[in-house]
Amino acid sequence: MTSAPPPLPAPPTSAPPPPTVAVRGEAELEVDPELARLLVTVSARDKDRGRTLTRLTERLDALRHRIASYGAAVERTETGALWVQPEYQDTKRAGERITGYRASAELRLTVVDFGVLGELLPAVADRELTVVAGPWWGLRTDSPVHRQAREQAVRASLERARQYAAALGSTLTGLVELADQGLSAGAQEYAPAPGGFLRSAALAGAAEPPQLELEPVKQQVRATVEARWTMTPPTDL
C-alpha cells in the first residue's frame, strides 16, 4: 500500500495593513506687502494723427525721465497697451466726420520703496492728460512668506494627526502621503487703496502736487495640505 501524501502547509496569512489617519493642515499669515503696482495712462489729442503720436511720445519720454529720478524705488517700468483712435463729429449732411485723433499708452510701475509713493503718485497724476490707478499691494512670487505658510500647514497636519491618534490610544508610526492643496494670497493683494484713481485735472492749478499718506494693505497668505499617516492599532475602542 502506498502512504497518503503529507498535507500541504497552510498558506501564510498576511498581516492586516496598519490603520491610518487622514487630516488636513491649514495655515494663514498676515504680512506686510512687498510690492505696490501702479497703472499710468498717458494720452494726447490733436487734429493731425502724426502730431498726436508725437505729443504722446514726448509725454511718455518725459514721464519715464521723471520716474527714473526715483532710482531703485521703482523696480520695474513696463509698457502696456497703446492705441490710437479717431474722434468724430456727427453732421447730418456728411455723416461722421473725423475732427481729430486721440492716442493713449499705459505704463505699469512696480514700486518697492513705499516711502516714495506719497510723492510719486501726485507727481505723475499732475501731468497733462494722465490718469494713475493704484496702488495694488502684493507679494513677490518667490517671497519666503509662501514657504513659511506651507511649513506651518505641514506642522498643523502633523499636530492634528497626533491628536486624533492619541484620542484612540494610538501613536503615529509613519507618513503615507502628503498632498499640497495649493497656496493662494487673499483678494486684498490687488485691492486698490482708497482713492485709487488720480487724474491730472483733479490737481490742475496747484503750484506743487500735494503728497499723499498711504497705508499699505496687509496681505493674507494661506496654505493647505492633506496628509495620511500610519498609526499603531487603537487601544481605546
| Model-wide pTM > 0.95 | no
Q: For residue 104, what is the DSSP state?
A: E
pLDDT, tens only, 70-122:
999 999 999 999 999 988 876 565 566 888 999 999 999 999 999 999 899 99
Q: Are 219 and 33 in contact (CB under 8 A)?
A: yes
Our CA angle for 130, 190, 84, nearest 5°, is: 35
C-alpha cell at 211: 503728497
Size of the chain in residues: 237
Architecture of the domain delimited by 20-231: 2-Layer Sandwich (3.30)
pLDDT of residue 207: 57
Domain ranges of the chain: 20-231
Average pLDDT, the chain: 84
pLDDT of residue 7: 73
pLDDT band at 34 (very low <50, low <70, confident <90, very high): very high
DSSP assignments along 40-80, one per residue: EEEEEEESSHHHHHHHHHHHHHHHHHHHHTTGGGEEEEEEE
d(CA 6, CA 58): 103
Give me the half-sphere count of Cα atoms (radius 13 Å) on the Cβ side of residue 16: 6
The values of phi and psi at residue 229, to 5°, are -120, 150
pLDDT of residue 93: 57
pLDDT of residue 177: 92
pLDDT of residue 191: 41
pLDDT band at 28 (very low <50, low <70, confident <90, very high): very high
d(CA 40, CA 165): 57
pLDDT band at 211 (very low <50, low <70, confident <90, very high): confident
Mean pLDDT over residues 181-200, rounded? 45
Q: Are 127 and 59 in contact (CB under 8 A)?
A: yes
Amino acid at 103: A
d(CA 107, CA 122): 16
